[in-house]
Amino acid sequence: MKTLDILILGSGPAALCLASELAKQNLTIMGISTKSPKAKWENTYGIWASELEELGLESLLSHRWSNTVSFFGNGISEKGNKSTEHRYDYGLINQEAFQNELLKKCKGIEWLNETAKQITEEKNISEVICFSGLKLKARLVIDASGHKSNFIKRPERKNVAQQAAYGIVGKFSSPPVEKDQFVLMDFRPDHLNKNEKISSPSFLYAMDLGNETYFVEETSLASYPALSQDRLKKRLFTRLENKGVKIKEIYHEENCLFPMNLPLPLKKQFVLGFGGAASMVHPASGYMIGSLLRRAPLLAEKLAIYLKEPNQSSIELASKGWEVLWPNELTQRHKLYQYGLQRLMRFDEGKLRSFFSSFFKLSTKEWVGFLTNTLPLPKLIYVMSKMFINSPLKIKLGMLNIN
Ligand SMILES: Cc1cc2nc3c(=O)[nH]c(=O)nc-3n(C[C@H](O)[C@H](O)[C@H](O)COP(=O)(O)OP(=O)(O)OC[C@H]3O[C@@H](n4cnc5c(N)ncnc54)[C@H](O)[C@@H]3O)c2cc1C
């Protein structure tokens, strides 16, 4: 078989976001994936509506909420049950429409149902060997096979923190959250025991999907070791029980587990990554879809330029690609986010409530910019400093690791 310009591994959001941009360039591209690119994605993807609006893609939302709130009180008194109103629209992506929209743009790209086993580089060209025995050669291999990729080299880290969540879509005896409401974080801790409050707090992420159907998910922002699905499930059920809410029917269960602070990949390697494989998850929130959509066009354009140079080896192409994906600016921001996450992971539920309560007192532009990773580095430093100055002393000490 002829050597391809680009071979993409995977057919999840990362693979399709990048492939849909690469398809605009005049390149020979193929994809291989364990699953068909048409197979329905299993995860429920949420996003701030403005992230899609800025790209003209807001029609891809299946649901949109203006009533967006969090709860950072202790859940005991009236004051402790007061909501923090975000006054900023949040949405749920219509997976099918999103997937179809991207696939439509992947004109001319064929996907084979194969699983990559090994990738080698010889005479400046990469070769992917599949479990079936099939061998494919490409000038550049892009690994978009997700967070568990075996092919991307990165510094070793033993205690990688994971975001874990257990959620259900279903019908309930009474609304678990207000009608037409989206709850980003309900940190009220009344369903947690003393030990859980100290060592592994979790919050409720929930939304009204209409038609008396709700999605409720017990979420651990990040912890090492990860909270098990069993523990999260028990917590979710206790939380509902404490509210007097009974589950009548479950339509869908979501089991969520992915790494939050994977070290950034090495820039000198012959495979380029994108998406989970390239540590693109926002280390302070766990979101990634917005950044896939924002970062794919530039990477695709640049790769097409580099590929015009016929003598570029796989390692030269991939290294240049890594520079585009993780330039100094984004690398520095990533370090700041990781610093923040590392501190948050040491906070008990009381400190977390206090931290997020201060965080959402930032201006909307500031907190949205922080959560979507769209603030330029100096602004991010300014926002983080402002947040620090405005926080209570116990949070300041916690952020400095003096507690
Ligand atoms: C349950 C859950 C909910 C999430 N919710 C959100 C959210 O609301 N908003 C948000 O922004 N982010 C969310 N995330 C985080 C992140 O956006 C997702 O993990 C996202 O699916 C990662 O995209 P990806 O394409 O990198 O990897 P994946 O979606 O994991 O896709 C990997 C692809 O590679 C294929 N593959 C794997 N191994 C091989 C191989 N060896 N050879 C060939 N193909 C292979 C797989 O079949 C699959 O097609 C969520 C994650 C999870 C797990």
pLDDT digits (tens, 9 = 90+) for 241-284: 999 999 999 999 999 999 999 999 999 999 999 999 999 999 89
pLDDT of residue 403: 66
Question: Tens of pLDDT along 128-159?
Answer: 999 999 999 999 999 999 999 999 999 999 89
From 243, 259, 275, the end of a domain falls on: 259
Which residue, by CA, sits nearest to atom 13 of ligand 1? 287
How many other β-carbons are positioned within 10 Å of the β-carbon of residue 313? Answer: 16
C-beta 45 within 6 A of ligand 1: yes
Q: How far is the CA of 393 from the centre of ligand 1 (A)?
A: 39
Nearest to 85, CA basis, from 362, 337, 360, 377: 360
**Counted domains in the chain:** 3
pTM reported for the whole predicted model? 0.96
Amino acid 2 reads: K
C-beta 275 within 6 A of ligand 1: yes
DSSP 235: H
C-beta 291 within 6 A of ligand 1: no
Instruction: Tell me, yes or no, whether 25 and 117 share the same domain.
Output: yes
Amino acid 265 reads: P
Instruction: Tell me, yes or no, whether 237 and 296 share the same domain.
Output: no
- Which portions of the chain are predicted below pLDDT 50? none
Atom of ligand 1 nearest to the CA of 165: 1
C-beta 43 within 6 A of ligand 1: yes
C-beta 184 within 6 A of ligand 1: no
Mutate to test the pocket of ligand 1, among 11, 95, 145, 325 (most ligand atoms within 8 A of CB): 145
Length of the chain equals 403
Domain extent at residue 271: 4-37+106-157+262-326
Instruction: Tell me, yes or no, whether 148 and 181 share the same domain.
Output: no
DSSP character string of 160-212: --EEEEEEEEEEESS-SS-TTEEEEEE---TTS-HHHHHH---EEEEEEEETT
Q: How far is the CA of 351 from the centre of ligand 1 (A)?
A: 31
Contact 45, 93 (CB under 8 A): yes
pLDDT of residue 196: 85
Mutate to test the pocket of ligand 1, among 16, 41, 288 (most ligand atoms within 8 A of CB): 288
C-beta 321 within 6 A of ligand 1: no
Instruction: Tell me, yes or no, whether 119 and 132 share the same domain.
Output: yes
How many other β-carbons are positioned within 10 Å of the β-carbon of residue 59? Answer: 9
C-beta 273 within 6 A of ligand 1: no
CATH number at residue 118: 3.50.50.60
Atom of ligand 1 nearest to the CA of 93: 8
Asked, for residue 98, whether it belongs to a domain, the answer is: no
C-beta 113 within 6 A of ligand 1: no
Q: How far is the CA of 239 from the centre of ligand 1 (A)?
A: 28
Say how far apart CA 210 and CA 218 lie, in whole Å. Answer: 20
Atom of ligand 1 nearest to the CA of 146: 27
Chain-centroid distance of CA 239 in Å reads: 25
C-beta 112 within 6 A of ligand 1: no
Instruction: Tell me, yes or no, whether 128 and 269 share the same domain.
Output: yes
Q: How far is the CA of 147 from the centre of ligand 1 (A)?
A: 7
Could you tell me if residue 390 is left (phi over 0), alpha (psi between -120 and 50 degrees) or otherwise beta? alpha
From 238, 259, 280, the end of a domain falls on: 259
CATH number at residue 75: 3.30.9
